[in-house]
Amino acid sequence: MDVQFSTQSVHAGEEKHKPYGALATPIVQTSTYAFDDTAEILEYMRHKAARDSRAREEYARYSNPTQTVAERKLAALEGGERALLFASGMCAITTTLLTLLSSGDHAVFLHPCYRRTKEFAREYLPRLGIETTTLPIEDANALERVIRPNTRLVFAETPTNPHLRIVDLETVAGVAEANGLIFAVDATFATLINLRALDHGVDIVLHSATKYLGGHNDLLAGAVIGGEALLAPIEAARGVFGGVISPHSAYLLVRGLKTLDLRVRRQNENGERIARFLEAHPAVRRVYYPGLPSHPEHTIAKRLMGGFGGVVSFEVEGTLDDASRLVDALRLPYIGPTFGGVESIVEQQSLFISLDPEARRDAGIADTLVRLALGIEDASDLIADLDQALSQLVDRSELT
């Protein structure tokens, strides 16, 4: 039965008839699974060797029924053959890279990407004999020039954090395919509502499920989604490295995914309205939001994305202290370093990067940059709150 995305988010990956007649997917809270007899062990091993979906569970580091439901749901929503869940988004990224890259390989990272991903590529991969090259995302056409005989993988993030830059996935995917490279994309900011990256030639999609997919700031999880052949060795590595999601987190993720479509559409609406408000405000120097025509990749975003997300970054007029005053004057958003949940969260990114101004400049983060991750509150209330906080900056500038 061909159904719409919102219907899939509720029903995909779940059996109609669950244990004990439960409506919600149960939390299977166990570390191991017992066998009735030796014959059942032999049957399990035959199914396992054949990678048969009928293979039952053996041990919780390899699989869990609650986790399996969440993985099936994610695969259906993203349009992939398989999905794998991990203990966090970074665990998903590091396990994927460590599995697909070997000593002597070379990988290209499109810049900017999440600072911890960049740190892993810069500090840890070279220790294993893996070379990396960083290429600005606006120079994607130069990818062909940096590919080497030992290049194995291209990694990108779209939209990027915090400036929300957009990678032209189809251009990069074309070059990757022509050169036999794996193209992996962190699409956490996009969500699988606004962007189905696999439909644009991407081989592997990664998400920090902690953010939009969970949606309630109450779980840590990471996801890798793609084809069976690429994910099989990553699944095997997960069993060795041990970065598994807990049954309770998997249950929370299943619950969060049921409302993903509703939440993200509201956050898209909030993002567009607030980005337009901020761009017109005299206390705001610049707004970063792919839904605005002023965004450098607005045309690419319109071509690839069905919505532009609930994160709006902007620079205020003034100094680091002015940005701090704005953050402190806001009444509705919480202050913190995450995004994607139902509550709005604001962050002055420079203070989370470093107290050293030079280090902040090296990271490309302006002292006056504010990242506003919008929740599902009413946009008019959020705008009123921003207006009163920004007005205090304007009033102060007039006094000085």
Each domain of the chain, given as residue ranges in start order, spans 5-28+64-258, 260-399
User: Which residue among the candidates 114, 212, 288, 289 is catalytic per the annotation?
Assistant: 114
* pLDDT by position in tens, the chain (length 400): 678 878 888 888 888 888 888 899 999 999 999 999 999 999 999 888 887 766 789 999 999 999 999 999 999 999 999 999 999 999 999 999 999 999 999 999 999 999 999 999 999 999 999 999 999 988 777 899 999 999 999 999 999 999 999 999 999 999 999 999 999 999 999 999 999 999 999 999 999 999 999 999 999 999 999 999 999 999 999 999 999 999 999 999 999 999 999 999 999 999 999 999 999 999 999 999 999 999 999 999 999 999 999 999 999 999 999 999 999 999 999 999 999 999 999 999 888 887 888 878 877 889 999 999 999 999 999 999 999 999 999 876 554 5
User: Which residue among the candidates 72, 211, 263, 371 is catalytic per the annotation?
Assistant: 211
Our answer to whether residue 186 is catalytic in this structure is: yes
Which phi and psi angles does 266 have, rounded to 5°?
-65, -40
Cα 112 to Cα 160, 300, 383, distances in angstroms: 6, 17, 29
Place of tokens 């069905």: 306
Our answer to whether residue 73 is catalytic in this structure is: no
Our answer to whether residue 124 is catalytic in this structure is: no
How many alpha carbons lie under 13 Å from residue 360 in its C-beta half-sphere? 16
Question: Which pTM does this prediction carry?
Answer: 0.94
Alpha carbon 154 to its chain centroid, in Å, reads 17
What residues pair up with 65 in beta bridges, in sequence order? none
Instruction: Give the domain 5-28+64-258 fold.
Output: Aspartate Aminotransferase; domain 2 (3.40.640)
What residues pair up with 82 in beta bridges, in sequence order? 226
Instruction: Give the domain 260-399 fold.
Output: Aspartate Aminotransferase, domain 1 (3.90.1150)
Contacts of residue 115, defined as CB under 8 A and 6 or more positions apart, other chains included, come to 353, 363
